[in-house]
Structure 1
């Protein structure tokens, strides 16, 4: 998923006691410099006198944080960077702030998705050297190599977290030529109950039809066909407070050169 942060946002910054110390120091400096008493009283009313906060929420120290507006340093000169004008506000630990542009578990899920790394798609095929016209080429993925992977993003000091999980769900086969038939006909094979896709070829299976593969109908001559295999990963997320949902699927492809020969039969 392509995820870009906004030009500004709100994030946790102050512990309750530290915010109290900072604000009281600012008031002292502001009063000494002859600052407007009306403005000072408004701020005191908001954060100290219970309208709506009392004594800077000092009794909740360690149980939440004061959130402040932050400009994206990469976009600080853009007009949108000045859109976050809300005064500092309190958020209890483990709660999503109900404030537009505040970092929440869904945003963390986007960040975690960026950090989710899945193994490269690598298929196995049989025959290993050359396929034969009108004889099926087996294609499969080893269940041990493609298990669910997860990544977690945490917002320190808030109790907010989100974990994304990527799980392989299907493999799509493109034989690299119109002169071929995929197995199954759609070219799409879902993952098996045991986590594998397709079925490994083994001695004695030559006359069987593979659950996943391709049958080439024409020789590749001196070259080969580019068999493209695309693995789809389903992405879900869960986070603090029972939040969660789906994210866009990820697709990862690999291309394998498959030389195809034609064997001439002589009838007597």
Structure 2
């Protein structure tokens, strides 16, 4: 049999093990067994390489998160109005404002290095409409409600709309420059960590004509 002659040792290459020596008990001389000599030095038993249990990550996940955010490709808001943004709006008539669903969905990106993967996610949260007519911008908490077949023609949008009070005839090109800015909240996660970044924005600019419709009253001559 053998017995350890040292404690557990760690070698320079990270391997651990112990040195053992032969032990034939008290009835036989050490190093001999019958007529067969037991020769040689102590025996090394290798336990294998011991890796640290709390090994540091090869790179800070927050650094990868910044790279993932820079890779995000946010779509410009797809502007929709009723009356159609391609047709003149009418002074005094409520205009419905909304962003098409195609540009109102989360956007993801990721960055990976050996041992660490980080994902960034941007979610649209609100929209600011600068109608270009000198009034205060309209802030909408969501994409806005699309005008549908069942909507009342003269009703205002329930959550995102504007009523022009003057025509755009005197503006450059005869139209108001409407700037629509979508705001995106940004979060990241990976390697057991996570966090958020300042909001990002994406915008669209459209030219909108606004006309004034004069009503005409015709007397019937008493007929």
Task: Calculate the TM-score normalised by the size of structure 1.
Answer: 0.58
- Are 1:208 and 2:166 matched, yes or no? no
Whether the 8 Å contact between 2:76 and 2:103 is mirrored in structure 1 is no
Q: How far did 1:56 drift?
A: 3.7
1:76 maps to none
2:127 maps to 171
2:144 maps to 198
RMSD: 2.5
Whether the 8 Å contact between 1:181 and 1:214 is mirrored in structure 2 is no
Whether the 8 Å contact between 2:180 and 2:205 is mirrored in structure 1 is yes
Following TM superposition, the consecutive aligned residue runs of length 4 or more in structure 1 with deviations greater than 3 angstroms are 56-61
Distance (whole Å) between structure 2 residues aligned to residue 205 and residue 110 of structure 1: 47
Q: Could you say which structure has the higher helix fraction?
A: 1
Distance (whole Å) between structure 1 residues aligned to residue 96 and residue 124 of structure 2: 19
Structure 2: 5+ residue stretches without partners: 1-8, 16-47
Distance (whole Å) between structure 2 residues aligned to residue 172 and residue 144 of structure 1: 18
Task: Calculate the TM-score normalised by the size of structure 2.
Answer: 0.68
Q: Could you say which structure has the higher strand fraction?
A: 2
Distance (whole Å) between structure 1 residues aligned to residue 136 and residue 63 of structure 2: 43
Structure 1: 5+ residue stretches without partners: 1-48, 65-89, 98-102, 192-196
- Are 1:126 and 2:82 matched, yes or no? yes
- Are 1:235 and 2:186 matched, yes or no? yes
Distance (whole Å) between structure 2 residues aligned to residue 181 and residue 91 of structure 1: 56
Distance (whole Å) between structure 1 residues aligned to residue 179 and residue 203 of structure 2: 7
